[in-house]
Amino acid sequence: MTAKNMKQAGEPANASLMKINPPRHILVVDDKPLILHLTALVLTDSGYEVDSAEDGAVAWDRLQLNSYDLLITDNEMPNVSGVELLKKLHDARMSLPVIMVTGTWPNEEFTRYPWLEPAAGLLKPFVLAEFLETVEKVLREADGTADRSQFMKVNKIPYAEAPAITPTRGQINPPLRILLVDDNSDIRQLSIDVLAGSGYDVEGVNDGAAGWEALQTYDYDLVITDNKMPRMTGIEMIAKLRSANIAVPVIMATRYLPIDEFARKPWLKPDLMLERPFSNDDLLEGVKNVLGKDDSKHWL
């Protein structure tokens, strides 16, 4: 059938190509809503079709109803853990590649039941680029086009040990430097990956007290901060910045924006507020607007 005839039949000209190469269908499982949302968003932005489940029990129901090319699951979850989900897959003889993304690798369980070990694993926090590369390699391996020995099953090297990207002294246009303050290590790392991937030099700290210490030591072009954190909140850190006359723009990125407090103390209001959950594009666009830069050097 020609393209013209296909259009006349009400079928798009590229329909045959879509049938040959449909998007891969991935099920993502994590009991932390924000991590689940961000992971699904990253995969969707990379061209995958994604379903989400908030624990292993919901994931098992999804697996009964739909066909997937890949399962990405956390381990420690209520109702049904990641390992228990793998046992269900094994008992049901479901052939499905699995990537386990977790904070603690269940060595004891996999030593006792080696046949449950997934195709690949990543320890949180992880590098976003490595996550997407692992997904691609596992899918290729499932198709028989990748060598399993090309990648390790578990990334045991935390992101903090990776070489930092720092501007060279005397460099004409060094990367803009951002301080990211968030007590949730997973969210902090995902945000760092997104920003670093767009050319920024990013440093992450785990609360307002650590952020305030960094701000007294180094110069930054922008601060992105959560609000509710131990030791010192985001608002308390902004108050210290204002009192010290440190002129650095601030973006508050948090789940519950303290609108009432900013109404009472308008001098503490940040340059931009982002309410979670938001997309990677929202974050990057907000950073771009606050910095007032439209320089291709810093943007993909």
Per-residue pLDDT of 254-283, as tens digits, reads 988 888 888 888 888 999 999 888 888 889
H-helix or E-strand containing 252? Answer: strand 250-254
Q: pLDDT exceeding 90 applies to what percent of the chain?
A: 40
Residue 13: pLDDT over 80: no
Average pLDDT score over the chain: 80
Alpha helix positions (H), the chain: 3-8, 15-20, 33-45, 56-65, 82-91, 107-112, 128-142, 185-196, 208-217, 234-243, 259-264, 280-291
pLDDT value, residue 160: 34
Report which listed range, 75-89, 120-134, 158-172, is most confident.
Answer: 75-89
CB-based contact 197:300 (threshold 8 Å) = yes
State the Cα–Cα distance between residues 129 and 135, nearest whole angstrom: 10
State the Cα–Cα distance between residues 145 and 125, nearest whole angstrom: 28
pLDDT value, residue 196: 87
* CA-based nearest residue to 127, from 195, 199, 193: 193
State the Cα–Cα distance between residues 198 and 48, nearest whole angstrom: 21
pLDDT value, residue 272: 92
State the Cα–Cα distance between residues 6 and 176, nearest whole angstrom: 50
* CA-based nearest residue to 221, from 258, 169, 266, 167: 167
Domains and CATH numbers, the chain: 22-155 (3.40.50.2300), 163-298 (3.40.50.2300)
CA 9, distance to chain mean position in Å, is 42
pLDDT class of 162 with cuts at 50, 70, 90: very low
pLDDT value, residue 66: 92
